[in-house]
Structures are given as structure tokens and as C-alpha cells.
Amino acid sequence: MRVSLGSNNFSALVLNADFQPLSYFPLSLWPWQSALKAVFLDRVSVLHEYQKVVRSPSMSMKLPSVVALKDFVKPQRAPAFTRFNLFLRDGFCCQYCGRSDELTFDHVIPISQGGLTTWTNVVAACPDCNFKKGSKSIDESKMKLLSVPRQPTNMYLHNKGRKFPPNYLHETWLDFLYWDTELEPHSSG
């Protein structure tokens, strides 16, 4: 699963006041219009700019490519139990066979046997494994989970998200991202 941002739409990377990205996946980006507005409202500092200049009758300015919030935004204490966060926790892989092309959700303890829709009982599963498991328990199905489903922390999801960089990364973003990953960003203006 990849986020395509096109070749260059002059998005600004948005950092928290501690210079960490607000989010890695999806990467926290604002359209240039929102970034400019935040600059004018004095809500962000501009750390890097594109060469691209926008002009109005009274002024001209370069579009920001990296901005940092002036006020620190506290992350939520526990991540929301959403489909997206669940897939992210499971690395967008079937938790039975590791496939990642098409994903559904599987209740480890089936609903028909009293299983709940919770972090610890729902995993990402490909359609084949989901069908194979059906409404059987994990013992009955003789299938194995690649990992035990747990409630993730924000930090865990944050780190998972770092493994899924978007296709397009502007060179000025790289100082703030992916210290430990080799990347070949597309050329940009």
C-alpha cells in the first residue's frame, strides 16, 4: 500500500514543535495553500522553502517545503481502534501467511464463539486465509498466527509507519525523516 503524491505538488512537510513529523503514515503533509495560510496566521515556522514563488499584487513569497508548528501538539494517549491503524499494526500483511496484496479482517476467536472486535482479537488476513479459517477457532483451523495481536502504542504505530515512505519525498524533507533508511527520492523542483 503506497501513497502517491504525484511528481511535485508543493506540499509542505509538517513537523510538531519538537521537529518530529506529526505522522509518518500517512506522512503529515499540507497542501501549499494550507501551509501558506498557517504561515500568515503565525502558527508555524518555515524551515525550508521550494524555489517556487507565488505572487499576489502586494507580495511574493517562496512556498514552504518544511514547516514546524509553534505550539506542541500532544499525541493522543492510545491510538484509535480503526481499520487503518489495525492494518498498520499488522504491517499491511496477512497475519497467517504474510501476503500483502489484498487484505480483510479476521476475528481470531470467531464472533460466533463470542469473539470480540478488539485489538487483541482482530488481525489482518488475506481473503484465502480468512476463507480457510472461516468461523473456526485458531486451534480448530490448525492455522498459526505470525504474531500475537496486541493493543499497539502510538510509538509502535509511529515506527511501523516509518517503513512505508510515500513515493514522493522532497529533498528538504529527508533531514527530518528516515534516519536509518536508504531512500532514493524522486527528483524535484
Question: Where does this chain bind Zn ion (CB under 5 A)?
Answer: 94, 96-97, 99, 126, 129
Q: How far is the CB of 28 from Zn ion (least distance, A)?
A: 31
Q: How far is the CB of 46 from Zn ion (least distance, A)?
A: 46
Residue whose CB is less far from Zn ion, 48 or 99: 99
Give yes or no for a contact between 146 and 96, defined as CB atoms under 8 angstroms apart. Answer: yes
Question: Of 86, 87, 73, 62, nearest to 14 (Cα)?
Answer: 73
Residue whose CB is less far from Zn ion, 22 or 138: 138
Cα-based angle 94, 151, 13 (whole degrees, multiple of 5): 80
Residue whose CB is less far from Zn ion, 141 or 188: 141
What is the rounded (10 degree) CA torsion for 168, 174, 177, 178?
Answer: 90
Q: How far is the CB of 128 from Zn ion (least distance, A)?
A: 6
Q: How far is the CB of 142 from Zn ion (least distance, A)?
A: 14
Q: How far apart are CA 122 and CA 105, in angstroms?
A: 7
Residue whose CB is less far from Zn ion, 65 or 130: 130
Query: How far is CA 158 from its chain centroid?
Result: 8
